[in-house]
Structure formats: structure tokens, C-alpha cells
Amino acid sequence: MRILYTLIFAISFLMLNAQVNEGKYSLSLGDQNGFMMDHKSAEKQVVEEVIENNLKPYGKIKRNRKAGEWNCQECNLSMVSSNTLNVYYRIEEGRDLVTSYLYFDDGTKFISSENDSDASEQIKMICMDIYYEVKREMIRKDLEEMEKQLKDYEKDLGKLEKKNKDLHQDIEEYKEKIRKSEKDIEQNLRDQEDKNMEIEQQKRLLSKTTDKLNKVGRSS
């Protein structure tokens, strides 16, 4: 069992160090110890919101637009330090990549693994929470977009189904018109026959009347 716990700890340690990098990174206060994460295929606004949402329960966050930084003054991160911290962070946007930098000042130093290993490990845990929340948020956005696309497809299908129904209705109407036209044709042919008979009768009557006219005044 001890071996299993050791293995789990080792894997967790490797994951932390794989996603969170330590180094000296630029800040308005000069190069300072910080923690850096690369968020691939993320949006800058999403990273900004996630970091703010993760830190604002611990203190008030202010933005320094001129420096392009945020600062959580007197941030009460008890898991890192019994004293309040000044936490700074900034975000850079690259090509299909957003990079975040977080700095933790305990009043005497900017924390790193070299000057406070225990606090550094807790900070890495905080960073990993941010890292995975960014991933989750991007997946949520993808899901929202997929759901929107699905609704669009369903709307398109509804239109196609309605069009199909209308076309079938048109066909039935055309069939009814054809049936009526066929009956009208039959009636028309009968009417033609009747009219031809009337014409023949009228011709015979006309002929008889003409003969009668021609015989008027002639001797028998």
C-alpha cells in the first residue's frame, strides 16, 4: 500500500511540474519568481475569467491596465501562508495559445520552490485548479457551440420536413386537379358529340328550309 501511495504521489508531482513551470518572469515590479502555464487552444477572456473566479473568494482583485496585470491585494490564501499575500497575474495571447503568469508575494519574497517548497506545492495545486478549469470551460464552450449547431440542424430539418409535407400536399392537389381535368375532358368530349349532333341537325334543318325557300313561287 505504501508503494501505491508513493506511486500516486509521484504521478501527481510529475503532472504538477508538467503543467506548471517555475521561473523568473517579467512583472511591473521587475523580473520575479512566478508560475507559468500554457493553455493550448484557449481563449484569453476565458483564462482571465477563470483566474479571477478562482482568486476573488480570497481577496479583492484590481486591474492595472497600464501594466497589463491584475493584483489581488491582501489575498487570504491560508493553504499557502498564514499571512495575507499579494498575488499578481498577467496573461499573454499567442497563436492558438494563451499563457498565464502568477506571482505570489508573502511580503518578504516572491514564493518559489527554492525559498518555500511547501508553499510552492500549494501554489502549484491552485495553478492546476486553474489549468483544468480553463480546459473544462473551453469544453463547455465547445459543447454550447455544438448544441447551438445541433439546434440549427434540427431547425433546418424541421423546415425540410415542412417543405416535404407541403410538396406532398401540392402533389395531392395536383392529382385532384388532374382527376378533375380528366373528368372535364370526358365531359368536354361528350359535349362535343352533342354539339356535333346539334350542328348536323341544324344543317339538315337549314337545308330543308333552303329547299323550301327555293320552291316558293315555282309551279308544281
Nearby residues of 96 by Cβ (< 8 Å), 6 or more positions away: 40, 41
- Tell me, what's the pLDDT at 216? 81
3-state SS string over the chain?
CHHHHHHHHHHHHHHHHHHCEEEEECCCCCCEEEEEEEEECCCHHHHHHHHHHHHHHHCCEEEECCCCEEEEEEECCCCCCCCCEEEEEEEEEECCEEEEEEEEECCCCECCCCCCHHHHHHHHHHHHHHHHHHHHHHHHHHHHHHHHHHHHHHHHHHHHHHHHHHHHHHHHHHHHHHHHHHHHHHHHHHHHHHHHHHHHHHHHHHHHHHHHHHHCCCCC
The architecture (CATH level 2) of 2-137 comes to: 2-Layer Sandwich (3.30)
Query: What string of pLDDT tens digits covers the 220 residues of the chain?
Result: 554 444 344 444 444 455 899 999 999 999 999 999 999 999 999 999 999 999 999 999 999 999 999 999 889 999 999 899 999 999 999 888 999 999 999 999 999 999 999 999 999 999 999 999 999 999 999 999 999 999 999 999 999 999 999 999 999 999 999 999 999 999 999 999 999 999 999 999 888 888 888 888 776 5
Question: How much is the pLDDT for 217?
Answer: 76
Q: Structural domain boundaries of the chain?
A: 2-137
The residues, ordered by sequence, that sit 6+ positions from 82 with a Cβ below 8 Å of its Cβ are none
Quote the pLDDT of residue 11: 40
Torsion of CA 144, 146, 148, 151, to 10 degrees: -140
Q: Is the dihedral of CA 106, 98, 27, 116 positive or negative?
A: positive
Which one, of 21, 17, 29, lies nearest residue 100 by Cα?
21
